[in-house]
Amino acid sequence: MDTTVTEIPEAQRLSLAHAPAGHRGQWLAFFSLDHALGRIVAGTSEAILGQMRLAWWRDQLGAPIETRPKGNPILSNISEFWAGDEEPLVELIDSWELLLVTDVMDDGALESFAQGRIAPFKALARRANSACDKSLIANAARCWALTDLSLHLSDADGRKNVQRLVKEHSQVNGALDRSMRPLAILEGLSRRALKQGRTSLVGDRLSPLFALRLGIFGR
The tens digit of pLDDT for each residue in 192-201 reads: 999 888 889 9
pTM of the model: 0.94
pLDDT at residue 5 greater than cutoff 50: no
Q: Looking at residue 172, what is its pLDDT?
A: 62
The tens digit of pLDDT for each residue in 122-141 reads: 999 999 998 888 889 999 99
3-state secondary structure the chain: CCCCCCCCCHHHHHHHCCCCHHHHHHHHHHHHHHHHHHHHHHCCCCHHHHHHHHHHHHHHHHCCHHHCCCCCHHHHHHHHHCCCCCHHHHHHHHHHHHHHHCCCCCHHHHHHHHHHHHHHHHHHHHHCCCCCCHHHHHHHHHHHHHHHHHCCCCCHHHHHHHHHHHHHHCCCCCCCCHHHHHHHHHHHHHHHHHHHCCCCCCCCCCHHHHHHHHHHHCC
- Looking at residues 185-198, what average pLDDT do you find? 92
Q: Looking at residue 3, what is its pLDDT?
A: 42
Average pLDDT, the chain: 91
